[in-house]
C-alpha cells in the first residue's frame, strides 16, 4: 500500500502532464486549417474603394502679443481701500458723516432696500420690532437702530404702518450724504 501511494505521489506530475498533452493534441486535431473565409474577407476589403482623406486646414499664424503694463493700474489692488472710505466732512462742515465699515454686517444689509417689504410689527417687552420680508421669502425682525439695505440704512423710527431709516450714500466727489427713506406696510 505504501509503494502504491508513493508511486502515485511521485508520478502524479507525469500523469497530469500527459493529460494536458493529450488535451492539446485533441484540440489541435479539431482545428480547421482552411483560411478560405478569412482570405475571402481580406480580398473583399481590398476591392472596396478607399475614401479620400481630407487635407488638414492650414494653421493660421497668430502674432504674439506682448503686454506692457507701464502706466496701467495693477489689477490685483482693489479700486477702493478702507482708507478711501474714511470719514469726510459734509458740505456744512459741522459734523462728520461716514458709515461704520468696521462693524459686522447684519442679515438685512445683504438685500437691496427695494426688495424688502414691511409685513407688520410686534411688541416684545415694550420694544417695538418690525417684521420685514426679504426676497428669499423669510421674515426677519428688526428693531430701532438695526441696519438694512445695501446703503448702510439705519432704522430711526418704527410705527405701526411704516419704518423710517437714514441711508448713507457716497457721491461722485467721495463725500457721504445722508438720505431719508422708508418702508411702508404691505399686505
The pLDDT tens digits of the residues spanning 22-73 come to: 888 877 776 666 667 788 888 888 888 777 888 888 888 988 888 888 888 7
- Give tens-digit pLDDT for 64-118: 888 888 888 777 877 665 555 555 554 555 566 788 888 899 999 999 989 999 9
165 and 181 Cβ atoms separated by less than 8 Å: yes
SS3 99: coil
Strand, coil or helix: 173? coil
Q: Which residue has the cell 500527459?
A: 18
Specify the DSSP element, H or E, that contains 166: strand 162-170
Backbone angles phi, psi at 130, to 5 degrees: -95, 140
Gap between the Cα atoms of 60 and 174, Å rounded: 50
- CATH placement of domain 82-184: 2.30.30.830
Give pTM, 2 decimals. 0.50
CA distance 121 to 186: 12
DSSP assignment of 73-112: PPTTS-SS-GGGGS-EE-TTSSSEE---TTSPPPGGGGS-
Contact 119, 186 (CB under 8 A): yes
Residue count of the chain: 187
User: What residue segments make up the domains of the chain, in order of their start?
Assistant: 82-184
Amino acid at each position: 500500500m505504501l509503494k502504491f501511494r508513493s508511486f502515485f505521489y511521485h508520478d502524479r506530475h507525469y500523469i497530469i502532464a500527459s493529460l494536458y498533452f493529450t488535451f492539446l493534441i485533441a484540440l489541435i486535431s479539431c482545428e480547421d486549417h482552411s483560411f478560405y473565409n478569412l482570405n475571402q474577407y481580406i480580398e473583399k476589403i481590398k476591392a472596396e474603394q478607399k475614401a479620400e482623406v481630407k487635407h488638414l486646414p492650414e494653421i493660421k499664424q497668430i502674432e504674439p502679443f506682448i503686454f506692457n503694463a507701464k502706466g496701467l493700474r495693477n489689477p490685483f489692488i482693489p479700486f477702493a481701500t478702507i482708507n478711501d472710505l474714511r470719514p469726510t466732512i459734509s458740505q456744512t462742515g459741522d459734523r462728520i458723516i461716514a458709515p461704520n465699515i468696521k462693524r459686522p454686517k447684519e442679515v438685512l444689509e445683504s438685500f437691496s432696500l427695494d426688495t424688502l417689504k414691511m409685513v407688520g410689527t410686534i411688541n416684545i417687552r415694550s420694544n417695538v420690532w418690525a417684521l420685514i420680508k426679504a426676497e428669499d421669502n423669510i421674515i426677519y425682525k428688526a428693531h430701532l437702530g438695526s441696519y438694512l439695505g445695501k446703503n448702510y440704512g439705519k432704522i430711526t423710527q418704527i410705527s405701526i404702518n411704516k419704518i423710517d431709516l437714514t441711508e448713507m450714500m457716497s457721491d461722485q466727489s467721495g463725500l457721504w450724504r445722508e438720505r431719508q427713506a422708508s418702508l411702508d406696510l404691505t399686505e
